[in-house]
Amino acid sequence: MNQVGTDAKSLKQVRMLFGNQQFLLLLVWFAMVAFFTAFNSIFFSMAVFGNILLDWAPVVLIALGQTFVIISGGIDLSVGSTVGLSGVVAAFQMQHMMTNGDNQWLAIAVGTLVAALVGIAVGLVNGFLITKTKVVPFIATLVTMGAAAGLAIVYSGGAPVGGGPDKAIELSVPWFGPFSTPGLIVVGIVIICGLFLHLARFGRYTYAIGSNEFAARTAGINVNRHYLKVYALSGLLAGLAGMFFYCRLGSGAPTSGYGGELDAIAAVVIGGAALTGGIGRISGTVLGALILTTTTSGLIIIGVAPDWKQVVVAILIAAAVLLQGNKNGSRGGSK
């Protein structure tokens, strides 16, 4: 009797483990690493993991913001364009400081601040449109997506903006295992966002609003102010991603974030968040972004046309959504 009970209990634990999206994602990632390594052993090297992390950092940055937005029940389509705009504006600022003969590190610090401020500005416009003019997030951020992309091109004349500090590109060199300095900063931001979402009041409010906006309002949460904060956070992180691209390319390119919003949404959805709001975890987003960028590098290393990445990603999204549907279904049908 007792024996049967423990068996059933451990069986249930195993089933729970496999029902856990993060655990499954980790398994998928290990399988991918094994698969790519089997085709070309060079894949399993510090250099390749360094490449993957270089791609991962900006994707995860904007995906973190997107996680908050999606959990709150919204969507932010403007982040890809914000990456380009903030990179260009920061690049002009740094170019200006270099022609003035300012210190390189000071220029990088000011550039980062400028990129962050541009991001926050776009985020606040989104928040304003959503809370004050009551435009749905999809349309509000669609508007800013177009406006930011256009401004980036007008402002830069289309060309990458260079002439900034040479040290920026040296920052992208990995020195701590596969991590570069901006990469380590991104890891720090991931941890902070995790604490904010899962342990702080900010996160509880986000879940509450995403689950039931009306109930959250009734419970005394200032919903509009919270939306404003969530979109500003998403913009801030996109601005920092713009600076990350600057460090990577040594110039601010208006097109550097193109498609970034869809990569971010894909990472969040693969990570197990529901577009209906109220569900999602930072760990899922981190793994979702890792899987996306591992696919890119892996396909290049094994010599498959990168166009296949889109197909692989599509399959992963479908699998993630199916898994979610099953979970919801079993919850509803449990006796």
Query: Rule CB under 8 A: is residue 14 a binding residue for other proteins?
Result: no
Report in angstroms the alpha-carbon separations of 288 from 31, 42, 154, 298, 308: 14, 23, 34, 15, 17
Tell me how far, at minimum, the Cβ of 45 lies from other proteins, in Å.
7
Choices 2-10, 42-50, 185-193, 230-238; region in contact with other proteins by CB under 8 A: 42-50
30: tokens are: 């290990």
Tell me how far, at minimum, the Cβ of 13 lies from other proteins, in Å.
37
Select 25 or 55, whichever has its Cβ closest to other proteins.
55
Which residues are CB-contacts of 325 (< 8 A; sequence separation ≥ 6)?
none
Tell me how far, at minimum, the Cβ of 11 lies from other proteins, in Å.
39
CB neighbourhood size of 171 (10 A): 20
Q: Does residue 179 sit in helix, strand or coil?
A: strand
Alpha-carbon dihedral angle through residues 48, 49, 55, 60, given to the nearest 10 degrees: 170
Q: Do the Cβ atoms of 58 and 84 come closer than 8 Å?
A: no
Which residues are CB-contacts of 29 (< 8 A; sequence separation ≥ 6)?
287, 290, 291, 294
Query: Rule CB under 8 A: is residue 150 a binding residue for other proteins?
Result: yes
Strand blocks (E) in 12-170: none
Query: Rule CB under 8 A: is residue 56 a binding residue for other proteins?
Result: no
Tell me how far, at minimum, the Cβ of 155 lies from other proteins, in Å.
11
Q: Which of 114, 155, 127 is nearest to 246 (CA)?
A: 114
Residue from 245, 272, 273, 277 touching other proteins (CB under 8 A): that is 245
38: tokens are: 């089997």
Q: Which of 206, 85, 208, 189 is nearest to 147 (CA)?
A: 85
Residue from 236, 297, 316, 320 touching other proteins (CB under 8 A): that is 297
Query: Rule CB under 8 A: is residue 159 a binding residue for other proteins?
Result: yes
Select 160 or 278, whichever has its Cβ closest to other proteins.
160
Kind and range of the H or E run holding 68: helix 46-71
Query: Rule CB under 8 A: is residue 307 a binding residue for other proteins?
Result: yes
CB neighbourhood size of 158 (10 A): 11
Choices 60-68, 214-222, 242-250, 268-276; region in contact with other proteins by CB under 8 A: 242-250
Q: Which of 303, 302, 273 is nearest to 286 (CA)?
A: 273
Query: Rule CB under 8 A: is residue 47 a binding residue for other proteins?
Result: yes
> Residue type for 194, please?
G
Choices 5-13, 150-158, 201-209, 282-290; region in contact with other proteins by CB under 8 A: 150-158
Choices 62-70, 119-127, 139-147, 183-191; region in contact with other proteins by CB under 8 A: 139-147
Query: Rule CB under 8 A: is residue 90 a binding residue for other proteins?
Result: no
298: tokens are: 């892996």
Query: Rule CB under 8 A: is residue 306 a binding residue for other proteins?
Result: yes
Q: What is the DSSP letter of 307?
A: T
Residue from 127, 250, 280, 284 touching other proteins (CB under 8 A): that is 250
Query: Rule CB under 8 A: is residue 10 a binding residue for other proteins?
Result: no
Tell me how far, at minimum, the Cβ of 81 lies from other proteins, in Å.
9
| d(C-alpha 65, C-alpha 129), whole Å | 18
Residues that bind other proteins (CB under 8 A): 40, 42, 45, 47-48, 51, 54-55, 58, 77, 80, 142, 145-146, 149-150, 153, 157-163, 169-170, 172-173, 245, 248-251, 253-259, 261-263, 266, 296-297, 300-301, 303, 305-307, 310, 313-314
